[in-house]
Structure 1
Amino acid sequence: MEKTNSKSSGKSQFLPLNTIKTDWFSCRIVPFWRLIRIAVTVLGFFGMIAHYSQKVNVGIALVCMVNHSAIEQNKLNSTTLITHIDDSCPQTNSTNHIEGPFIWTKTMQGIILGSYFWGYIITQIPGGYLAGRFGPRFLFGGAMIVSSLFIALMPLIAHVHWILFCILRLLVGFSHGIIWPCMTVIMAHWAPVHERGKLMGFMNAGSQAGNAFALSIGGLMCSWDFADGWPLIFYSAAVFGFVWGIIWILFYTNSPRNHRFISIQEKEYILQNTQQQLSNSNKNDFHVP
């Protein structure tokens, strides 16, 4: 009898307080729109939009930054052979091309595009350690703020030298490398086990939304006459990322325990459904023989 009582009491201790097991929409105590973990997820969704908008913006901007006609003209042979002269006026087809001020070869463009990922891979493993050690609040927000400052300088630096532009691109990738490790730590502390797949999936969807947003808006900005069009691609991504980073630092906390807006019911529910896994992960020490 004692064993059964202890088992039943232990089982009831970890029952969710404001939902029924896996159904995260059936909140009976805290209304759905007041759940802080949902707000964190939505804010993370927009953070991924800002992240991927900055990630792909150079690939879009290069289309209208580079003078492609000047590059192709250098490849043409100056000698031509006339084999036939037609008296009739030939039909001409005119196409409007957006030509930029920079004569950057395809090799230069490839180096610029690839430099981001060289910086990106450097901070992946250190980013995982730092996110677990210090939390994603200042790391995620700070990474977006720093990368936004670098991106805001890109239109100016591009007129100085393409190598300096490439270095800025490298530093943006260096800043972004810690973002994905931060995402996993956010979910580990804020997403209960039965909700983790839904919350993580929604937050990660921001990456593809950022691609779609940057590609569509960036292509439109290329055709604008205001400020030459292409610098707006960098400025808009920089402003969005900077503002988001400030909001993230002000709103997010590394643990539900410290959030000033969270209800007691939601806090206890999250802690009961995450602390067991967090304590187990902290106990697992990996020793290299």
Structure 2
Amino acid sequence: MREKTCCPIRYVMMVMVFMTTYINYTTRSNLSISLPAMVIPGGHDKHFVPECKREEAATKKHEANSTTTAKPIEEDTGEKFDWDETVQGQLLGGYFYGYLLGSLPGGMVAENLGPVWTIFGATLISGILNSVCVWIAPVHWAGLMVVRFLIGLVGGLVYPALQTLIGRWAVPQERTVFVACLMGNTLGTSMTWVIGGIVTRAYKWPWGFHIFSLQIVIFLVVFYLCSGDRPDEHRFIGEQEVNFIKECQAGTVKKTKGIPPFKEIFLSFPFWTLCILHWGNLWGLYTQLICVPKFMKEYIGQDIKKSGVFSSLPSFARLILGFGFGFLGDFLKRKKYKRIIILKGFLFVSHIIPGILMGLLTLAKCDATAAIVMLTFSMSLNGAVVVTNLANPTDLSPNFAGTIFGIISFIGGVTGFIVPSLMGALLNAFGNNSKSWSLVFGVGGAVYTGCGIFFLIFGTATTQPWNDKEEKPPETETT
């Protein structure tokens, strides 16, 4: 018999989920803050000046005969490359090409190999490859894109594995808070922009990669010691807590392995409504993750350090409110509100209002403070996804939540390279000006809001019949 532990191990697992998503997003988003430090601003235009800085200089002329013009922002952040907007868009999308392919089998890999080893192996590989970026970038941009593709490939395994882990560890009355721990990704984004900006400014862009590889080493040691695939397999858990989790799950989570019911999943309308909702969320999230640092530096005109700090504020606010929404969701569940009412009520906060705010972003014009305020409100309210699209896979099928999340991440992951490619095409076509950025954020806001409205009409939180698909029996020895 296991002895009772002083702290419930399921809470330790919540921390592990949080830290896993934090680490996953450091390697996912670090290129967004490092790339502006690696390239000549404006591509081949070595005298490029952000539009807002040109306007600011024009209003500060004190002499009638002055011929003073704005000077380019000059920062010694290491070797610079003359990659144009198209190349930069492809590099930013490289991770997501790999993520697209990695996420599809992620649920099946985790359900059979085990979520802990899936996460451990994927994170270890991504940490090694993250530092390889430093040495491959000077060779050719295509080599950097290949490495980013590989980081995305293994990174795509992580979130489906986490959904599998949550399905096995979470009790119904704590499920939303468990899912809220996926908000570690927002801390990952925030700290990547802050740490990446400061380190890049102080030690040049190569250390903007190496610093996050060092973080991964520390994380893996802690994760290995503190994690377990299932409650009854954890090295430190007490018997009383194991029984408590099993009783609360009431047989909805099976231990034997089974082949996911792919036919039933793909023919399920509730699955497709979730897929559309997740698509819209990822489009909005990647618009902010990929585009905002460039918008702040090359349009507003903030230097690399300030750009990182300012760009991180919306993500940090999303983290705080994400946990708040998670606790509120579980509170409403304990008050016997129907899950579907909670789900659709939070949709206004997670998708519709943030989409409207994103579409209106360029009304801030060159006012950095106003832009940050609008971004902060948009992204922080999106923390309600812990009650909507991040929780809905477990609503539909606790047994196959990892597989479902892998599939919707595969489909939604297409936005990870559509968004930077669209941004690059618009900036090339119209220049780095208000018109281009209005289109970037306007399209993002429309997709965000439209997908939320679709789910509001057609979505469901009912556990689907194919969750109880007959599983293959445990193997037995024969003589």
Structure 1: distance between partners of 2:126 and 2:258:
35
Match of 2:92 among 113, 125, 141: 113
> Is contact 1:64–1:230 with CA below 8 Å preserved after alignment?
yes
Structure 1: distance between partners of 2:102 and 2:258:
25
- Deviation (angstroms), 1:223: 1.6
Q: Does 1:197 align with 2:170?
A: no
Structure 2: distance between partners of 1:166 and 1:275:
47
2:242 is matched with 267
- Deviation (angstroms), 1:90: 2.8
- Deviation (angstroms), 1:55: 0.6
Unaligned runs of 5+ residues in structure 2 are 49-63, 265-479
- Deviation (angstroms), 1:91: 3.0
Q: Does 1:223 align with 2:198?
A: no
2:146 is matched with 167
> Is contact 2:111–2:257 with CA below 8 Å preserved after alignment?
no
1:137 is matched with 116
Indicate the percent of aligned positions where both proteins have the same amino acid: 25
Letter in 1 for 2:152: G
Which entry has the higher C-alpha Rg, 1 or 2? Answer: 1
> Is contact 2:30–2:196 with CA below 8 Å preserved after alignment?
yes
Larger deviation, residues 238-247 vs 53-62 = 238-247
- Deviation (angstroms), 1:287: 7.5
Other structure's SS at 1:71 match:
coil
Unaligned runs of 5+ residues in structure 1 are 1-28, 76-86
> Is contact 2:125–2:154 with CA below 8 Å preserved after alignment?
yes
1:38 is matched with 11
- Deviation (angstroms), 1:93: 4.2
- Deviation (angstroms), 1:161: 1.3
- Deviation (angstroms), 1:176: 0.6
- Deviation (angstroms), 1:166: 0.6
Other structure's SS at 2:104 match:
helix
Match of 2:233 among 258, 271, 280: 258
C-alpha change, 1:286 and 1:51, in structure 2 (3 Å) is closer
Q: Does 1:243 align with 2:218?
A: yes
**Could you state the TM-score of these two structures normalised by the residue count of structure 1?**
0.77
1:232 is matched with 207
Letter in 2 for 1:263: G
Structure 2: distance between partners of 1:93 and 1:110:
27
C-alpha change, 1:275 and 1:134, in structure 2 (3 Å) is farther
2:73 is matched with 96
Match of 1:60 among 16, 27, 33: 33
Structure 1: distance between partners of 2:260 and 2:226:
33
Deviations 1:173-194 (A, max 9, x none): 0011011111111111111121
- Deviation (angstroms), 1:235: 0.7
C-alpha change, 1:207 and 1:288, in structure 2 (3 Å) is closer
> Is contact 2:43–2:83 with CA below 8 Å preserved after alignment?
no
Structure 1: distance between partners of 2:256 and 2:250:
10
- Deviation (angstroms), 1:107: 1.3
> Is contact 2:94–2:148 with CA below 8 Å preserved after alignment?
yes
C-alpha change, 1:165 and 1:249, in structure 2 (3 Å) is same
1:80 is matched with none
- Deviation (angstroms), 1:272: 2.1
Match of 2:158 among 175, 179, 191: 179
> Is contact 2:47–2:72 with CA below 8 Å preserved after alignment?
no
Deviations 1:116-145 (A, max 9, x none): 111101121211111111211110111111
Structure 2: distance between partners of 1:223 and 1:62:
13
Letter in 1 for 2:215: F
Give the aligned length: 246
Q: Give the CA RMSD over aligned residues.
A: 2.8
Structure 1: distance between partners of 2:37 and 2:221:
31
Deviations 1:26-81 (A, max 9, x none): xxx967x6111111111221111111111110111011111226611499xxxxxx
